[in-house]
Amino acid sequence: MSDIEVNQIINPIPATDGAGVKLKRSIGLKPNYFDPFLMLDEFGSENKDDYIAGFPPHPHRGIETVTYMLAGDFEHKDSTGGQGRMTAGDVQWMKTGSGIIHSEMPAMKGGKLHGFQLWINMPSKIKMSKPEYLYIDSDKMAVHKDEEKKIKIIAGKFEKAEGPIKGHNIEPIYFDIEIKKGKEFNFGIPSNHNSFIYLIDGEIKIGDKKHDKVIGSTLILLTKGENLRVSALSDTKFLLISGKPIGEQIARGGPFVMNTKQEIIQAVNDYHNGTFVK
C-alpha cells in the first residue's frame, strides 16, 4: 500500500462573506478547486460583530453545501421549506441541485461562534436535480472512541462506526478527529480520492517524509495514496475530508457552479426573472 504524504500546506486567507461575516478561506482561493471540493471556510469569533449579520437569503445552483457547527447557534431556512436550528456538533448537508434560496443567520446575540462550510461540486447529470436538505443532529452521529482518539463520523466509516451520509456519488469521507499527544491515527483511503486535512488545534506530523511545521488553522492537501498516518505532536483536533474527483469542466458565477458559462448566465437570468426555484 502506498503511503499518503503532504502535498501542499496552505494558510487560510481572511475574508468576508454574507452580510459581512468574517472568516478564513482556503479552498476557493488557493487552490481555486480541489476536485470535487469547491470551497472551504472556517468561521469563528467571540465578537458578535464578526458574525451577527449572518448570511441573509441568497441562491445556489449546482453544488452541495455542508455546514458543520462546533460552537454557537445558527438558524437555516430555505425555499424547499427546510428549516433547522444548528447547535454545537450539528451538520446541515444541502444539495442545491436546480436551485435553492436559503439563509443562515445566527440564533444568538453574543458568545462564541465556530464552524465550517464546505462546498462540494455536483456532476453535470445531477446539477439540475431536485434540491434536498438534510439536517443531522450531533447526538445521532456515530462516534469511535478509544484511549488514544475520538472520531466523529459525518460521512464514511471507521472500524464499526459509520456516518449518516450514504450512497453519495463522490463516496465522501468527513471525519472530525481528536488525538492525544504522542498517539497516531491510521486510516485507509481509496487511491483515486482527493483528500485534505484541516488542522483546527494542536500540531501534527503526516506520513514519513519531512514537511514544514503544521500548527493551528491550516489546510493540508494530501498526495493520493492508500495509507494515511497522522501523528499528534500535541493534543490535536482536525478534519479529514476526502472524495472521488468528478473530472468535469466547471464554470463559476458567485453562488452558482455549472459546467459552462452559458449555464451560469441561465442561472442568473432564472434568478432575476423569478423562475429559479422550480
- In the chain, how many domains are there? 1
Tell me the residue type at 17.
D
- Contact between 44 and 71 (Cβ < 8 Å): yes
pLDDT band of residue 207 (cuts 50, 70, 90) is very high
Place of cell 445531477: 126
pLDDT above 80 for 1? no
* Angle subtended at Cα 236 by Cα 232 and Cα 239, rounded to the nearest 5 degrees: 105
Mean pLDDT to the nearest integer, 101-121: 90
The pLDDT of residue 115: 94
pLDDT above 90 for 46? no
Query: Whole-angstrom Cα distance, residue 241 to residue 175?
Result: 7
The pLDDT of residue 108: 81
Residue 56 lies in a domain: yes
Strands (E), 35-99: 37-45, 55-60, 63-71, 74-78, 83-86, 91-95
* Nearest one of 214, 218, 190 to 203, comparing CA atoms: 214
Domain that holds residue 83: 6-273
As given in the structure block, the three cell numbers for residue 81 are 421549506
Residue 227 lies in a domain: yes
Residue 278 lies in a domain: no
Residue 157 lies in a domain: yes
Query: Whole-angstrom Cα distance, residue 176 to residue 102?
Result: 26
* Angle subtended at Cα 31 by Cα 229 and Cα 21, rounded to the nearest 5 degrees: 100
Query: Whole-angstrom Cα distance, residue 230 to residue 107?
Result: 36
As given in the structure block, the three cell numbers for residue 94 are 444541502
Mean pLDDT to the nearest integer, 223-250: 97
With H, G, I as helix, E, B as strand and everything else as coil, classify residue 232: strand
Distance from the first to the final alpha carbon of the chain: 47
Mean pLDDT to the nearest integer, 210-224: 93
Residue 272 carries which DSSP code? H
Q: What's 16's domain CATH number?
A: 2.60.120.10
The per-residue pLDDT for range 158-199, each reduced to its tens digit, is 999 999 999 999 999 999 999 999 999 999 999 999 999 999
Residue 1 lies in a domain: no
